[in-house]
Chain A
Amino acid sequence: MRLNSVPLSAGAVAIMALSIVPAKPVAEHPVRGGILHVAQRAELKTFNPVVAIDAPSREVLWRLNGDLLTINRVTQKVVPGLAESWTQSHDGKRYTLKLRQGLRFSDGAACTADDVLFSWAVYLDEAVQSPQRDLLLIDGKPIQVSKVDEHTVAFGLPEPYAAAERLFDSLAILPRHKLESAWKSGKLREAWGVGTPASEVVGMGPFRLKEYRPGEAILLERNPYYWQAGLPYLDGIEFRLLADEELQLARFVSGDLDILNRLSMQSVSYLTSKGATVTDLGSGLEYNVLCFNLSPGNSKLGSFCKREFRAALSLATDREAIAKLVYQGRAVPLWGHVSPGNRLWHSSRIAHPPLSVEAARNQLSAAGFRPNGKGQLIDPATGMPIGFSILVSSSSPERMQMAALLAADWAKLGIEVTVAPLEFRSLLERVLKTRQFDTVLLGLGGGDADPNPEMNVWLSSGGMHVWNPNQKQPATDWEAEIDSLMRRQMVTIQPAERRRLYDRVQEIAAAQVPMIFLASPNVVIAQRGNVGNFRPAVLHHFTLWNADELYLRKDGSQRR
């Protein structure tokens, strides 16, 4: 589960190209050669995939490393990677993966089952503190790995885990011959820092490190030992360090960059005015929500705990205005937490009640909330006018605007709403620790399409169960039902049954309104039209996920 300080997302419904960009590869012969130039927003922190947590490092490392199974970012389904096939036991607790023959690291050394075992041991080592470790624990117990033969490994799960094959995506297989000594001496976290010679950084990805020029660029070159014969087509990729978005736009327009990843809406407007090719991939996986603080002790709990109150606010929320005014039409209004961009899990059965202030007033009135002579909505329990604040990150102009729209919408119900912008870390402190807030506007989601990474949001015991986290026992019946459904879907192997369970979770969340779902912004990218096999997707990493297949057209517009 990720919580976004700035819009980041994934997932897609439709391809809406402003200028015509083919969404599917056209029938043409890929050309070998050339360097692809892309922008990098911040300096790399490390070349070590075990400890990298920052987006800039991971963006580069994904190109240098290979995973056993990988998620096709367009279909959102798992496909073979370094493992050519996999089987699952009937009870869903054992996965057997068969590695491809003749795998080699980028320095020419063979990659075998021993490297997989070594990688697993490193990721699970508590002393290493890898951010991937939590993903490899199910109910606190680690996924065990054993060697069947030189090219076969078996993974034993402590419990059945639906879609466990997705866990292998983006989990880099490490070269034992390069990193074992550092691990044994307890120095693996320090290994492969940014000062490491390029030849020492070894991986299974389509590219390998050629040169790192701090403050300027990272140059990758073709990995001659890449497991897919004939790939990659590109000679290399250069990540140019351009921290400022306006600078990136200027360099893109001038032809110094081939691709821009994940544009803000104002950048889209600028680029289209310059005649650049911009592709709108449709709704991502990120969803913006207004979350009520339903924790005991909140002074506004009297109103907030009433479902009718929350539902009335949802009814009076102009989601279309948010999509149109805040995201300039490049967003999808939401009534549930799974955006249409999540093709595998979006439920079309969620009701979309139209905006109606009148219906909201009636609902409030039925629940005992009536206005006084001044038009202020009165809390029947206290006899006082209702008012609350919306906590919002000061670094997100989009969410600041959303908060202003919500405040204006709910003023029509007689509720005085104050927008409280806070620096993001202070906001997190209040939301996740001190719980000193009334409501908060957040961007959630944006990771994988599968529901399992969001367990900590939906389980009442979860730390990211934002409206009332870390509950010992579910505070309400509907939260208890969600707990049960989420736990069942996690261990249900049959896709149809899983789907049914998770649909029910979506229905309960939409009906009980612990969060008001607002809008999911589109993923918009730009390319110069000279990149072949370009298949951007709404899942991370939006544009370079198939970097091995990309090529530069010789007859297209050329960089200077």
Chain B
Amino acid sequence: MRAMWAAALLLMIYALGWRFAPGDPLEQHREMARAGPSAGHWLGTDDFGRDVFSRFLAGGSWSVLEGASATALVLALGWICGAAAAMRRGWTDRILSAIIELLLTLPWLYLLIGLRSLLPLGMAPRKAVAVMLLMIAAVSWARPARLVRGLVLSLKERGYVAAARGFNVPEWRIFGRHILPGTYGLLATQALVLFPRFVLAEVTLSYLGLGAGEPDPSWGGLIFDGLKRAYGLSEQWWRVLPPILMLPLFVSCAIAARVAARRFLPSR
């Protein structure tokens, strides 16, 4: 439970971090490039004299918000398709299951690189990343859909569902009252699995040079730009270390929250 609260608190800090940024994360002060930490710039400045702390906060907000958006979309799609396949069975189930199998085999990284080259060049890099993350989401709903389908199939066979059918309760009412609530726990744990994964996806995109990109900050961009420019941690460690430390901390919180959720959330 504590982990859940800690994760929630961290999320709040990350998501709203840009509001507390002491400076404009995009404003360049070229005469102050690569300065060390100081009272005015807690984490120093980057190659263009931009305040690294402000970029760290703003980048965190972006990474968290895009991760949350992609997670919500995946869960919505996965839940609808999985539940529909299980409830309808027949052709609906067969077609949706075939699509799920197909999506699970797609090489999403190559898809993304190809997709990036098709997007309009005038699209701001941040919007382009958002589109790409939505695309990841569009091909990532298969796994939660498969889990939801399996769970709904199992729930349909429970005694209390059979009893409701015996009393001629309509299917939609059985679904709403007896089956739907049984999927909440699964959705919550899936959210905690997918959310850090999508945040890490942004880091991967940045590593490939296809992330938010200049001039917008993001965790992935800060880490890899910092590592490339500062050559590991030997120089300007203050610039590279915060996002490097924050990322595993964030993922660890998500894992701890998932473990706590398994105990805390109701399961039927």
Contact = CB atoms under 8 A, between A and B. Distances in A.
B30 interface: yes
B214 A401 contact: yes
Contacts of A266: 228-231
A436 B117 contact: no
Most buried by A among B113, B208, B231: B231
Interface in B49-70: none
Contacts of A429: 117
A166 B235 CA distance: 44
Nearest to A425: B117
Interface stretch (B99-107, B122-130, B240-248): B122-130
Contact of A421 (B122, B210, B230): B210
Interface string A397-432: 100110111011000000000111111001001100
B38 interface: no
A419 B215 contact: yes
B225 interface: yes
B231 A404 contact: no
B214 A418 contact: no
Contacts of B121: 389, 391, 418, 420, 430, 436-438
Contacts of A194: none
Contacts of A170: none
A401 to B, nearest CB: 6
B213 A400 contact: yes
B213 A419 contact: yes
Interface of A is mostly: helix
A387 interface: yes
Contact of A397 (B128, B228, B234): B228
Given A321-B30, A418-B122, A395 B231 contact: no
Contacts of A273: 234-235
Contacts of B178: none
B214 A325 contact: no
Interface of A: 246, 266-267, 269-270, 273, 318, 321, 324-326, 387-389, 391, 393-395, 397, 400-401, 403-405, 407-408, 418-423, 426, 429-430, 436-438
14 contacts: A266-B231, A270-B234, A273-B234, A321-B30, A389-B122, A394-B208, A394-B209, A400-B214, A401-B48, A405-B28, A418-B121, A418-B125, A422-B116, A423-B208
Interface of B: 28, 30, 33, 47-48, 113, 116-117, 121-125, 128, 208-210, 213-215, 225, 228-232, 234-235
Given A404-B215, A438-B122, 10 more contacts: A246-B232, A270-B231, A321-B30, A394-B208, A394-B213, A397-B225, A397-B228, A421-B125, A422-B117, A429-B117
